[in-house]
Structure 1
Amino acid sequence: MKFAVRTRPASVLPGVHGPARVHRRTASLLGRLSEGDVVVLDHVDMDRDTAQALIDAGVVAVVNASPMISGRFPNLGPERLVEAGVLVVDSAGAEVFERVKDGTALRIDGGVVHAGETLVATARELTPDVVRTEMGRARSGLTAQLESFTHNSTEFLRREQDLLLHGHGVPRTATEIAGRPVVVAVRSHGWEDELAGIKPFVREQRPVLIAVDRGADALAQARHKPDIVVVNAASDDLPSAAVLRKARDVVVLVQPGAPRSATEPFERLGIRPLRFETTATTEDAALLLASAREASLIVGVGMHATLDEFLDSRRSGLASTFLTRLKVGPDLVDAAALPRLYDGAVRPRHLVGALVAGLVAVAAAISVTPVGQQWVDDLSPRVTSATSHLIDNVEGMLP
């Protein structure tokens, strides 16, 4: 005789539940995530901007086939995910991609990943203590990374010396930059606050707006029209075609010596791209463009200012970023600091100055009229008499 076996519904089993969204490349996942998803990816040393994008999409868990913190440098992504309450497990192994299909209902309990009743992977859960320990080890191993950075900087300077030292190869844009302030906007964590902080500056100074990659879409959403958009031809992080068409100039980065076909996808969209042959990152290319075209001031929105962010978000282009900052250093102001220097507020001294200037102008205008001349003639004897009386009093007071 068979007895019925009662199984508990998956929803009441312990752990975090959600449909799987699977892809080895994180950039390919970001555009199709929904709230409650479990992300399965392969991303070594996840940076903070990527982590924030996952948080903003509303994911409840991240399953990483690779280590979240390899120890090469202190990357900030895992710490941000854990702080936001996202369950993070890593080192799940490449087999997870064979066992989990897109849309599969997953359950993660600690470091164990289940698909229904099937054990998919045994991984490591990143708790705050684990993240803290791993980050400490990564910081202590940073010396080797800095030695590699020194070598990469030398190589980058050798390849791009004409660009860095003389501005050779920078395309000439239809947008006039010389003598004007420029805002270079990069979409990153916290960039919205920086953009809001410089609204008075943008409103009054009318700077040239240069957007980098998806920063063009973000600027458009904030009701700003980018004048120039800088993108990488090989990137998956491209802005929408509608925003590209509205920009006056679209600068496309290609590798030195790349064929004409590298920019054909943009031409098929009805865009006439400006080729920029360089190995610099898009962010750095935008700064070099503004500098080479003699911008009076460059305001960076969403740039990476601290050492941790610098290493975390630009590891592949670290030498490019470092040398570019040296090049544009005297002209570059971080948007976070700009409100402390310029807030656009009208102060009492401004009103007094405007009032005095207005009164002087009115007096000068009246003085050349017949009535004004009559007033001057009537006042002159009185002013002369008062002046003489004052001088006599002063002389009388002297010994």
Structure 2
Amino acid sequence: MYPTAFMPPQGGAPHVSSWYAASAGPLPSYPALRGDRRADVAVIGAGFTGLSTALSLAKAGYDVVVLEANKVGWGASGRNGGQIHPGQRHDPDWLAARFGEAATRKLLAFADEARLFQRALIADHGMDVELADGLIHAVHKARWIDDARRDAERQTTYWGRGPIRFLDKAETATALGTDVYHGGTIDPQGGHLHPLKFALGLARAAAAAGAAIHEDSRVLAIRHGAKAVLETPQGRVTADTVVLAGNGYLGGLDPDTDARVMPLNNFILATAPLDEDVMPGGEAASDTRFVVHYWRMTADRRMLFGGGENFTPRFPKDMTAFVRRHMAPIYPRLKDVPVDHAWGGTLGITVNRLPYLRRPKPNVWVAAGYSGQGVMIAPYAGHILAEAIRGVGERFDAFAALPCPPFPGGTWLRWPTLVAAMTWFSIRDRL
């Protein structure tokens, strides 16, 4: 099964000590499931995907139960970098070379729908999520600058994205407050938000629409049949339909998903409030490393910096030091600033970094494997699952047609294989 770090604790666990949990305001409490319950749809996981699925189905009149092992937004949805990446995980030319131009334009249209869908959720439900616009992609190798310039122009003029603007070295240094990058691009349709506030807002909206949310209700097993029975420590749900929405925390519930969605740990720190406005434009940023660095300033003037994956069975003992060594070369003047919070979390990745939307059984649906870009795509994926359950399958079918091969080596050997591959790419980044 999974290495220890990828398995959530047995029984309900509180939110990790993150800046998100400290700044989200009062954290709501939803009761654990007790006794037997009947439902039209049982959703496993109260993150972006599960809550969006529940909201869309509850609004359509379905009786929906959401089962969360810990707390709403406890997993990647409440711990990630908060960055909104527009478009797909791969650039349009990569997609077109593999799937053709027509399919690529459809996927880009879906990505734009996902962006607008997220904005509508925030506006329609009055969510205070500290939404900000702009995403900078910083180039860390000089020889890649010409490619970045051409790519920005092609994505804008040929593929109709953005408009994405190229930044030279001086413009990048001004925007980021560091001169270590050789240039970059800026996408005004990207941005960032407070992910835990967004998850909590989705939960409030789903509950108001009639969905029943149960925290501290880990699904221990699923008995499949014409109706599925989901066993939890203190109760069970019998449902016509099951939605698997736990992303990197689904281990053991569906073999097909286990084979194709790999849990991977990533780490973030939040400094104490800073005297300087490091990034005056307020954008989020990430760079061109394969093992990517990503960062932004928070509303209360902290540097929130993410960097470094973990390839051992457990989180680092000193997560502050682990992330600081990634931040210090980019911002040497911040290498000794106090850090108020440092935390880790688990995301789900696929071999080709494309999202995994499938129907492994006639009454079981899954969406996972967002590969670091779930802030925008995961709520939309939940909506797509809800559409498909209601019988509208165009969007689901388009995503389900995307190839998602299993990781080499099967469930037992995929993790050491990934460790070897990611270690190689990490070394390549440094060299």
Same-fold status (TM-score > 0.5): no
Point out which structure has higher relative CO (alpha carbons under 8 A, 6+ apart): 2
Q: 1 or 2, which has the higher strand percentage?
A: 2
Q: TM-score, normalised to structure 2's length? A: 0.20
Q: 1 or 2, which has the higher helix percentage?
A: 1
Give the number of the structure whose alpha-carbon radius of gyration is greater: 1
